[in-house]
Amino acid sequence: MQEMSNPGPRPSQKGPGQFLADARRKLGMEPENVAQMLRMSTQQIIAIEADDFDSLPEPTYVRGYLRSYSQMLNVDPEEVIRTYNQAIGGWKTATYSGLATEKQATSNDKIVRFATMGVIGLVIGLAMVWWLGQEDSADLVPAPTEVAVAPTEVTEPEITLDIPTPEPAPVETAAVPVAPVAKEEVVAKPAPPVVKEKPAAPTAIEEIPAAVVAPKPEAVASPKPVATPPPEINIPDGTRSRLVLRTEGVSWVDIRDANDNRLLYESVAAGREIAIEGESPIQVFLGNADAVSLEFNGADYNFSAYKQGKWARFTLGQGKKTRPVESEEQ
């Protein structure tokens, strides 16, 4: 049979693994860091970034790896998976086209004809052996003897089951008490007494104007006090600052001081509390920002504005004011 033709190299365009590798380098991460965060081996991460899909499991698993890797780097996973499908689709097309050129065996080949004749002869021989065996066995088998068996009548006993039917339990309807409607009593104000004036001498009578009662001013609700933000903390460059990190889940952490010295560079397990001191400004990178809380110079620090998907990158004490977390009004 003719050997399979080589399907040729895969497409030379930029694959999904190279795209993810570029995004990882921009974040300053190593393949070992990614392997720890995704709970994969370093060899698998290297194979993904090299588009070496033959070293990986089935395409279903590879798509899951690409989706998790993309979400960790804050990259659109659908675009990466679409590029992967295009890459493996082109390679399969080239493989199938190479298999199509293989020579097929026909009925005119000598090997096929000899095999067919041999199968037919074998079937005929087996049929003859079976037919001869049936004749010999028919002569040796004695005639069966008839045995008369008297029929017996079987009477089935009647079984009557008296199952008492349970009477339905009376359903008691609980009377729902109706709250009495409060009646408003209207008390009529007593009319002012009528004063009879005695007739006086025909003198000029001055009319006393009725006293005008000014309406009571409506009570104006006093506005609630507005919580003022806490004072900002001015930290000049070169000052030693204290940073406390607490984790509720596993997260990769990269913290460096003003001289780019690594103060913390590892995957931190859940439930840990780590205190760090270094020279400001301090650069912070969190791989799983939702599972980390920070305390900077004795005050909680809110870094939610710096989140990019799952990770966050920001600088503390960079020659400008750093605002701690505002406490909620009780």
State the pTM of this model. Answer: 0.39
Sign of CA dihedral 38, 39, 41, 44: negative
Mean pLDDT by 10 residues, the chain (330 residues): 40 75 90 90 91 88 92 91 84 43 60 88 91 71 53 52 50 44 42 46 41 47 43 62 94 94 94 94 94 95 94 83 41
The Cα 191–Cα 204 span in angstroms is: 29
Sheet holding 292-296, edge to edge: 273-279, 240-247, 292-296, 299-301
* Single-letter amino acid, residue 269: A
Give the per-residue pLDDT at 106: 64
CB neighbour list of residue 326: distance below 8 Å, 6 or more residues apart: 227, 229, 230, 302
pLDDT at 67: 93
Show the domains of the chain with their CATH numbers.
Answer: 16-100 (1.10.260.40), 233-322 (no CATH)
Instruction: Note the maximum CA span of the chain.
Output: 168
**158 Cβ contact partners less than 8 Å away, ≥ 6 residues apart:** none
Centroid of chain to Cα 112: 58
